Structure 1
Amino acid sequence: MGAEAVPALGLLGSVELPGVAESVGTARRYVRGVLEKSGLRDTYDAELLVSELVSNAVRHSESGRAGGLVTVVVANCGETVQIAVGDSGSATCVPRVPAEPDEDAEGGRGLWLVSEVALSWGWYEGAVGRIVWFRLARR
């Protein structure tokens, strides 16, 4: 097998976006472009889940305040791709998955959707905020 047939592991791209609702679409387009450039054909799940995480970051973290930022990082992990969304965190709100999402509610299904679609996901607090990540199979 030639070296060109082995995918390079590691960072595929990252982008820092303003913590505003309009950044959700920008993040979705960014992830689609990075994944397509890396050879992935099916980007729908990645676009859907990054939309949910960026929406949550803007709505529920300090990144949604004036001047706040959200960071999206895309990495090739061999058989999977990992996407992480970093925000400024929140002293009053932590990521949680509802046992049963309210079908009539306007929100509240984002992390439930991530937990249902992703191979794995998680979150942690870092020195500069919160990171929420998920992994999907490369296809």
Structure 2
Amino acid sequence: MTPVLLGKIDLLGATCSIGLARMYMREVLQKAERRIPGSTVDDIVLLSGEVVANAVKHSASGHRRGGVVGLLVHDDGRTVRVEVVDEGSEETVPQIPAQVDPLSEGGRGLWLVRELSSGWGWRQDGPSRVVWFEISGTSLK
């Protein structure tokens, strides 16, 4: 089945956009034509917020006035794919730390993405960076 774009939004590259991204994602998924279990919605909402937070913290989107972070959500009937597009960074690339401190207030975002998603990755798209994750499986039927 061909993926369908369920939603797309551009957010200000600021910490206040993290909560907005989560609210937007929950609304988009609840309005989806097929039923997605609540626990799966919760995971997608959580991971979307984590990836947007990373974009704000680590890319030019969050470090320049007027920076923007894009959030896109696709569904092909089996897999929900979320893409977060930021303005890139010369200093950092998305990576999972070798050690994750469970008591730390930060540094676990991509670890959570790896642990809860079916797959994730990133690509450079000109000056922009796209970080994506997918959640699929029988729990989505």
TM-score normalised according to structure 2 size: 0.89
Deviation of residue 98 (structure 1)?
Answer: 1.3
C-alpha separation between the residues in 2 aligned to 1:13 and 1:114? 20
Matched residue SS, 1:32: helix
Runs of at least 4 residues of structure 1 off by over 6 A?
none
Query: Does residue 1:63 correspond to 2:57, yes or no?
Result: no
Which 10-residue stretch deviates more, 36-45 or 123-132? 36-45
Tell me, which stretches of 5 or more residues in structure 1 are unaligned? 1-6
Query: Does residue 1:22 correspond to 2:19, yes or no?
Result: no
Matched residue SS, 2:130: strand
Which 10-residue stretch deviates more, 72-81 or 32-41? 32-41
Match of 2:3 in 1: 9
Match of 1:109 in 2: 108
Mapping of residues 28-107 of structure 1, within 5 Å: 28-38=22-32, 39-42=35-38, 43-65=41-63, 66-107=65-106
Backbone CA RMSD of aligned residues: 1.5
Which 10-residue stretch deviates more, 98-107 or 86-95? 98-107
Q: State the number of aligned residues.
A: 133
Matched residue SS, 1:78: coil
Deviation of residue 128 (structure 1)?
Answer: 3.7
Question: How many percent identity over aligned positions?
Answer: 44
C-alpha separation between the residues in 2 aligned to 1:127 and 1:22? 26
Deviations 1:45-100 (A, max 9, x none): 00100010000000000000211000000001221100010000100011001122
